Structure 1
Amino acid sequence: MLTKSKIKFLLSLQQKKYRQLNNRFIVDGDKTVRELFNSPLKVETLYAEPWWLWKNKHIYSDGVEIVEVSEKELQQISTLEAPTGVLAVAHIPTEDKPKLERGKITLALDDINDPGNFGTIIRIAEWFGVETIFCSEHCVDAYNPKVVSAAKGSLFRTKLFYGSLPQLFEKSKAPVFGTILNGNNIYKADLPHEGIVLIGNEAHGVSSELLPFLKLKLSIPGSGNAESLNAGVATGIILSEFYRRK
């Protein structure tokens, strides 16, 4: 039964402070919830319409609380404009100690604020085999419902760490690569097979305090009049070129 207290709790999880307080987050939508059940994350509660429960009875376990809801009730708690039959509450995984793996490309995000961009970047990173993403302290929360939706399940399989990027770069000693307006053409530059690819803020690019850490300053050439590229698009182009050079 969908009680008033459950509704209040679910709506509270749309805010970062309550996600952190309860160590829980919302996963909304049919495809993303099914991806959740195929991941190592712990699912606490499933809110679903009867047709969804019948159709997907093979994917959820006995340890998950099931709350059957009507279409109207789901609209009350869903973060989507057009709910697709189901919403789940899952545990936020505990962060392990950050570790850079040798021989691989890792991603670092410098104050990415847009949830859609952030989720898209996570999805792109997984596509190109990036397993770890380091996020500056002012990046948007990875468990924001819009990030979860945009990541399309990739969030559940990616290691995310929040912290000071300058401290990370100083300790790791790994080469850092980033894009700036007057950088070297990425298609002509000598790209290594390991290191950290730094993606700058949507509006301001790579912050001034991080510029000294860039071992290789890159740029993405273009012929149009657009001021800049979307952070997600830029990430896709950069990782694609690193992947192509393997």
Structure 2
Amino acid sequence: MSLSDRSQTADIVIIDYGMGNLHSAHKALEKVANGRKSVAISSNPDVIRSAERVVLPGVGAIRDCLGEMSQTGLVPVIQECLANKPFLGICVGFQALMSRSEENGGVTALNHFPGEVRFFGDDLTDHEGQRLKVPHMGWNQVMPTRPDHPLWANIPAGERFYFVHSYYVQANDPDAVLGHCQYGPVQFAAVMAEDNVAGTQFHPEKSAQAGLQLLSNFVDWRP
């Protein structure tokens, strides 16, 4: 399916609200779907609603992301999808699923997962007192807390994934967290899932084989 054809239905739809790694996510999902499922990028509410499963990417400031979702009229569609089909939020798309974020002076988010998005801070240090760079950028280990969840299938414990973020998720419900990551003194939710909705702080589409395996697991996920 052509990326420019935003009106055709597809099995997996990446929601286009003007922000996010759309083409990287599309390429990775097409690779793991391997012809079994069609993949499209779309901002068309009918196309999004008709999908079997949806992906919400996101980069940049959360206020801008949520503003674009609202401006494009996609918030009600996103809420519908959160209620009734397999859903994956990536990076800021994951953070948007929380209750609120400290970013931009405080932002109310979509409030699907109870919890807050917090800033790493300007003075983050490791256990030796060495300053850590913010944003947290690069490869880091994720430790599963629910290794039997289908999204972890065929992914060894302690695999490394690719992160780029200055804000992190603190979930209210530890049972919804599938895996943690540690950056200096901060332990944060790297993967969450509850019922039909999942989110990753890392970019699976940039995380080599482990990331592709997680996307493949999402494609096959039957919550």
Q: Name the one with the larger strand percent.
A: 2
Q: Which structure has the bigger radius of gyration?
A: 1
Superposed pair shares fold, TM > 0.5: no
Q: Name the one with the larger helix percent.
A: 1
TM-score, with length taken from structure 1: 0.29
